[in-house]
């Protein structure tokens, strides 16, 4: 029986919902950490009784995301570790990531997380410029990320990641180069680069649909992405995935498991789980999720079975979004000719017998994946 080696736990609490956010969050002035632990424990018990998503003898990665996990009480990670049995399950080179926002991450929390076993931190910085931070609804100042990184280093985190966003509205006059100069001065180990997306139902989505908010043009979006990739690679960060850049040996193992198609288990409201051919996801609303989880019932919203065609499409898409790409010899001569066209047009390179998209190719990755799938279907 295939087991799960990667675990995601969702901490939904946020002090404020960002202008563009479409995540499964619970907004309030505080978080109920004890209720969170009880709900996660209840769901885990229900999953254990089901005996479908089984955690093996060795857990490779644990990722606590949100929301804002740093809003939880300082002892929450120790309680989570005890509940899951991390001391017994953690494998060699175990990676435990927690997300944090600079305004809610202090020395006491960093120290408590280290003692609990957390060894990687992901800081939601987005930008170092005040006007853009206020527009997004972020609560930290432009200076707080530097303090957060300093605290993380001093308390023992050897892998510090920072989120940076691009593609903000032109009216904000955000200086992307200035942001990257500030980012490089922090000397973090990992950078996650995200383009702003306009989601229906968010305040940003409504403002755009009503013509009250400008958005970046496709050409400017492309230019900013390529600028960011070039800057990061020039400063020693490898583009190992379309949105992720790391110093040597500092890649996110948890996210790499997603991209490799390995099974994973998600706990918490809105969390997803996958064990081929089953993909399922939890109730998004926190209160409704709690009601089910506290009864030791599976808090599922829905699930689907992944068919062969869909599975192949997902495999192609996941592989093309990484720097390892696809093995050329696995495809027919006709498909290899398509790969050659990608190379000629600067959309891909051949590396160690693999076809790997360039940053220009990553910008149109969805289209290239569909074209490849159509080629495979027609052969």
Residue 91: pLDDT above 80?
Answer: no
pLDDT for residue 29: 62
Judge whether residue 90 has pLDDT over 90.
no
pLDDT of residue 58: 85
Sort strands 159-166 and 190-195 into parallel, antiparallel or unpaired: parallel
Mean of pLDDT over the chain: 96
DSSP bridge pairs for 356: 349
The residue-averaged pLDDT of 313-325 equals: 97
Cα 10 from chain centroid (whole Å): 12
Question: Which fold does the domain 6-259 belong to in CATH?
Answer: TIM Barrel (3.20.20)
pLDDT tens track for 166-206? 999 999 999 999 999 999 999 999 999 999 999 999 999 99
pLDDT at 145 exceeding the cut of 70: yes
Handedness of CA 101, 299, 293, 266 (dihedral sign): negative
Q: Which residue has the tokens 């800081």?
A: 123
DSSP 35-54: HHHHHHHHHHHHHHHHTSS-
Kindly report whether the global pTM for this prediction surpasses the value 0.95.
Answer: yes
Task: Reply yes or no on whether the pLDDT at 251 is more than 90.
Answer: yes
pLDDT of residue 372: 95
325-375 pLDDT, tens per residue? 999 999 999 999 999 999 999 999 999 999 999 999 999 999 999 999 998
Separation between Cα atoms, residue 311 and residue 307, nearest integer Å:
6
Query: Which one, of 327, 317, 334, 322, lies nearest residue 373 by Cα?
Result: 317
The pLDDT of residue 268 is above 90: yes
Q: What confidence category does residue 92 fall into, taking pLDDT thresholds of 50, 70 and 90?
A: confident
Does residue 30 carry a pLDDT above 80? no
Predicted pLDDT of residue 31: 77
Q: What percent of the chain has pLDDT over 70?
A: 99
Binning pLDDT at 50, 70 and 90, where does residue 378 land? confident
User: How much is the pLDDT for 13?
Assistant: 96
pLDDT tens-digit readout, 165-176: 999 999 999 999
The span from the CA of 358 to the CA of 320, in Å, is 10
Q: What mean pLDDT do residues 45-51 have?
A: 95
- Domain range summary for the chain, segments of one domain joined by +: 6-259, 309-378
């Amino acid at each position: 029986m295939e087991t799960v080696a990667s675990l995601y736990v969702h901490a939904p609490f946020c002090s404020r919902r960002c202008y563009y956010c479409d995540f499964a969050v619970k907004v309030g002035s505080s978080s109920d950490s004890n209720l969170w632990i009880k709900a996660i424990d209840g769901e885990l018990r229900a999953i254990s009784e089901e005996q479908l998503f089984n955690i093996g003898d060795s857990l490779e990665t644990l990722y606590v995301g949100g929301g804002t996990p740093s809003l939880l009480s300082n002892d929450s990670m120790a309680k989570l570790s005890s509940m899951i049995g991390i001391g017994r399950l953690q494998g060699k080179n175990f990676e435990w990531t927690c997300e944090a926002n600079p305004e809610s991450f202090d020395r006491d929390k960093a120290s408590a997380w280290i003692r609990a076993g957390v060894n990687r931190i992901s800081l939601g910085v987005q930008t170092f410029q005040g006007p853009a931070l206020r527009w997004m609804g972020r609560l930290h100042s432009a200076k707080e990320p530097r303090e957060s990184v300093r605290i993380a280093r001093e308390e023992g985190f050897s892998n510090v990641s920072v989120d940076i966003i691009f593609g903000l509205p032109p009216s904000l006059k955000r200086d992307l180069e200035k942001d990257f100069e500030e980012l490089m001065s922090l000397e973090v180990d990992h950078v996650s680069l995200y383009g702003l997306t306009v989601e229906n139902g968010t305040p940003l989505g409504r403002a755009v649909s009503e013509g009250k908010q400008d958005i970046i043009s496709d050409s400017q979006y492309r230019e900013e992405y390529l600028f960011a990739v070039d800057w990061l690679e020039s400063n020693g960060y490898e583009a190992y995935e379309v949105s992720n850049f790391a110093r040597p040996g500092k890649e996110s193992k948890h996210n790499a498991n997603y991209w490799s198609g390995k099974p994973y288990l998600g706990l918490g409201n809105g969390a997803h789980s996958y064990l081929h051919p089953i993909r399922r996801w939890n109730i998004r609303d926190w209160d409704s999720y709690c009601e089910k989880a506290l009864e030791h019932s599976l808090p599922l919203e829905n699930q689907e079975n992944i068919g062969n065609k869909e599975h192949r499409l997902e495999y192609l898409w996941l592989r093309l979004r990484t720097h390892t790409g696809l093995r050329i010899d696995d495809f027919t001569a006709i498909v290899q000719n398509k790969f050659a066209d990608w190379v000629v047009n600067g959309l891909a390179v051949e590396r160690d017998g693999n076809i790997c998209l360039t940053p220009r190719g990553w910008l149109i990755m969805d289209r290239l994946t569909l074209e490849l799938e159509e080629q495979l279907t027609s052969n």
